């Protein structure tokens, strides 16, 4: 994992459209060449070093992992019974849940907003219902 790239995805790509643009740029190479990601770390890095799209493939791998962390953190604030709070205005346990998952900054109110329109609608409905 390229830690600096991964942190920059989290801190610099703040909107869904910014994230989608990066996804569209790197994921085709990653998805086409996933077979190169098999093996030990050293074997994989050697294969990618010799591949013309090696950097894009590595970025695709890392981008997928960053998204998985984001998705896990996002889901942690939406379970039934959770306190309904606006985006990036978390307190209490909601903040704690996100901090535990946010390996990039350790914060709870600095998550990029990569929610889809449906996610935003569901989150707003969740808030309107008071978290029920």
* Pairwise CA distance, residues 9 & 53, whole Å: 19
* Per-residue pLDDT tens over the stretch 77-130: 877 777 788 999 999 988 999 999 999 999 999 999 999 999 999 889 888 887
Q: Which residue blocks in the chain are alpha helix, DSSP H?
A: 3-12, 16-32, 41-49, 54-76, 92-101, 117-128
Both tokens of residue 116?
């889809």
Domain ranges across the chain? 3-128
pTM, rounded to two decimals: 0.90
Range name among 25-29, 43-47, 86-90, 126-130 with the lowest pLDDT average: 126-130
């Amino acid at each position: 994992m390229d830690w600096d790239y991964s942190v920059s995805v989290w801190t610099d790509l703040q909107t869904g459209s910014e994230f989608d643009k990066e996804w569209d740029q790197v994921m085709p190479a990653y998805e086409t060449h996933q077979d190169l990601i098999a093996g030990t770390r050293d074997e994989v890095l050697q294969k990618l070093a010799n591949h013309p799209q090696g950097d894009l493939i590595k970025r695709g791998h890392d981008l997928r992992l960053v998204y998985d962390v984001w998705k896990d953190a996002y889901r942690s604030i939406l379970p039934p019974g959770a306190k309904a709070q606006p985006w990036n205005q978390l307190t209490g346990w909601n903040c704690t849940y996100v901090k535990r998952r946010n390996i990039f900054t350790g914060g709870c109110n600095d998550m990029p907003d990569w929610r889809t329109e449906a996610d935003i609608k569901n989150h707003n409905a969740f808030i309107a219902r008071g978290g029920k």
